[in-house]
Amino acid sequence: KAKESAAANYKFFAEYMNKENHSRLELESALRSAMKNNEFSLHYQPIINITNQKILGFEALLRWQHPHLGNISPEHFIPIAEDLGLINELGDWVFCHALEQLREWKTNISQEFYIAINLSAKQLQSNTLVTSLVNTIEEYQINPQNIHIEITETSVISDPEMAVKKLKKLRDIGFKISIDDFGTGQSSLNYLKKFPINTIKIDKTFVKSAESDQVDMAIVKAVLSIAESMDLAVVAEGVETKSQEKLLLGEGCKIGQGYLYSKPLPASQVKQLFNRKLRLVE
Ligand code: C2E
Ligand code: MG
Ligand code: MG
Ligand code: MG
ipTM of this complex? 0.98
| Res. 16: pLDDT tops 80 | no
pLDDT-derived band at 18 (thresholds 50, 70, 90) equals: very low
Residue 110: the pLDDT is 78
Query: By alpha-carbon position, which residue is closest to atom 45 of ligand 1?
Result: 118
In the chain, the amino acid numbered 168 is K
Atom nearest to 259 CA in ligand 1: 18
54-66 and 255-256 beta bridge pairing:
unpaired
Q: Is residue 88 within 8 Å of 122, Cβ to Cβ?
A: yes
Which residue, 273, 276, 254, is CA-closest to 45?
Answer: 273
Q: Is 10's pLDDT higher than 90?
A: no
CA of 1 to the centre of ligand 1 (A): 43
Pocket test for ligand 1, best of 61, 75, 88, 206 (most atoms within 8 A of CB): 61
Please say if the pLDDT value at position 82 is more than 50: yes
Task: Please give all residues whose beta carbon lies within 6 A of any atom in ligand 1, as ranges.
Answer: 45, 61-62, 73-75, 78, 94, 118-120, 150, 180-181, 204, 238-240, 258-259, 264
End-to-end alpha-carbon separation of the chain, Å?
61
Angle, CA 42 vertex, CA 140 and CA 223 arms, to 5°: 95
pLDDT digits (tens, 9 = 90+) for 103-124: 998 766 778 899 999 999 999 9
Which pLDDT does position 7 carry in this prediction? 62
Report pLDDT digits (tens) over 121-180: 999 999 999 999 999 999 999 999 999 999 998 888 888 899 999 999 999 999 999 999
Task: Pick the most confident of 2-11, 103-112, 182-191.
Answer: 182-191
Q: Which of 64-68, 129-133, 256-260, 277-281 has the lowest mean pLDDT?
A: 277-281
Give the global pTM: 0.92
pLDDT at 12 over 90: no
What is residue 6's predicted lDDT score, i.e. its pLDDT? Answer: 65
Q: Cα of 129 to ligand 2 centre, how many Å?
A: 18
Strands (E), 10-53: 40-49
The overall average pLDDT reported for the chain is 90
Model pLDDT, residue 282:
30
Which run of H or of E encompasses 208?
helix 204-209
Stretch 240-251: mean pLDDT: 98
What is the distance between the alpha carbons of residues 40 and 28, in angstroms, rounded to a whole number? 15
Q: Give the number of C-alpha atoms closer than 13 A to the C-alpha of residue 178, restricted to the C-beta side.
A: 27
189-238 pLDDT tens trace: 888 888 999 999 999 999 999 999 999 999 999 999 999 999 999 999 99
Nearest-angstrom CA–CA distance, 266 and 44: 6
Task: Report the candidate in 200, 256, 259 with the shortest Cα–Cα distance to residue 232.
Answer: 200
